Amino acid sequence: MSDSCGAPIGGVALADVDAGDQAVIQGTVIRDGKPLRGAYARLLNTSDDFVGEVATGDEGTFRFFAADGDWKVRVLASQGFTGEYPVTAEVGKVIDLQVQA
């Protein structure tokens, strides 16, 4: 299922992810203490080029698998919320963002 922008809706379960040979960037979008469904997480490279986007599901979660290096996660949500979070991905590690929207 997707909305008009084409991003898949559904989110992911974040419990105990083993990164293995992947670099993982993931997080949860929360508003008023509750997971926020329908927010968008965008992965951008160091030139601010769009790499990927996912919509959060019922648990407010998102996940990207990325190459080693510097990235930016931009989160967009209702009520005009936009937040940007620089991260450095590394194979075998999980970056876990908690976004208060």
Q: How far apart, in Å, are the Cα atoms of 24 and each of 19, 98, 100?
A: 6, 14, 20
Indicate the SS3 state at residue 86.
strand
Confidence (pLDDT) at 21: 81
pTM: 0.82
CA 57/CA 85 separation, integer angstroms: 20
Q: For residue 91, what are the domain limits?
A: 23-100
The answer to whether the Cα torsion of 26, 18, 94, 31 is positive or negative is positive
Does 28 map to a domain?
A: yes
Query: Does pLDDT of 11 surpass 90?
Result: no
Query: Predicted confidence band at 3 (pLDDT cuts at 50, 70, 90)?
Result: very low
Whether residue 63 contacts residue 56, with contact meaning beta carbons closer than 8 Å, is answered with: no
The verdict on residue 54 lying in a domain is yes
- Number of independent structural domains in the chain: 1
Question: Mean pLDDT throughout 43-70?
Answer: 95
Distance of CA 10 to the CA centre of its chain: 12
Looking at residue 69, its pLDDT comes to: 96
What CATH number should be reported for the domain holding residue 57?
A: 2.60.40.10
Looking at residues 32-54, what average pLDDT do you find?
96
Average pLDDT over residues 4-31: 72
